[in-house]
Amino acid sequence: MKAVFNTKVQGPGWVYQLKRWMPTIIMLPIMIWLIMNRGRYSWIDNADLVIHEAGHFFFTLFGKFIYTLGGSLMQVFLPSLITWYFWKNSYRTGAQVGLLWLGQNLINISVYASDAQAQTLPLLGGNEVYHDWNYLLGTTNLLQYDAEVGYIFFGAAIIIFLITALLPLIFQE
């Protein structure tokens, strides 16, 4: 007996378009909240902190500069890897979630980089550890530009969010 209802939604109809844009509709308020609340601690930051610290571990063999950069590198690398995996396997919603997470991490990095001179953010090791971005920007003689570096990361996050929101136009199933 042939099924009466076709559960696979296809074609140019409004139901298909709604299904196609639903991840964007759900993620858009999250992206707006993340942009409007830059620097505000949220639940996902706990996972990001673990990933950041793991980055230091994985890059420990590459010298102090790369070791220090490794935390922020891992915050970019892991969501990018997840995005690439879902993109490669033609799963647009997974790629959108990966990009959303990447943008959120870029906002975190923007806050951390902007704090390089002031060093007001609490660090995991307290006063016993050095501020990653103070060291990185100080070593490269860019410490006086910490706010600008932070805004570059913040701008990159906004661009990633725009790509995330528009991915249904880019990614044709």
pLDDT at 71: 97
First vs last Cα of the chain: how many Å apart? 29
Instruction: Concatenate the DSSP letters of all residues of the chain into one string.
Output: ---SS--S--SSSHHHHHHHHHHHHHHHHHHHHHHHTTT---THHHHHHHHHHHHHHHTGGGHHHHHHHHHHHHHHHHHHHHHHHHHHTT-HHHHHHHHHHHHHHHHHHHHHHHTTTT--SPPTTGGGS--HHHHHHHHTT-GGGHHHHHHHHHHHHHHHHHHHHHHHHH---
pLDDT at 20: 87
10 Å CB burial of residue 164 (0-12, 13-18, 19+) is buried
Below-70 pLDDT ranges, the chain? 1-12, 173
The predicted model scores a pTM of 0.88
pLDDT at 2: 45
Alpha-carbon distance of 71 to 134, in angstroms, equals 14
Residue labelled with tokens 């060291």: 135
pLDDT at 123: 85
pLDDT at 173: 63
pLDDT at 5: 42
pLDDT at 11: 57
Which two three-digit tokens encode residue 25?
């509709």
What does residue 172 show for φ and ψ, rounded to 5 degrees? Answer: -95, 125
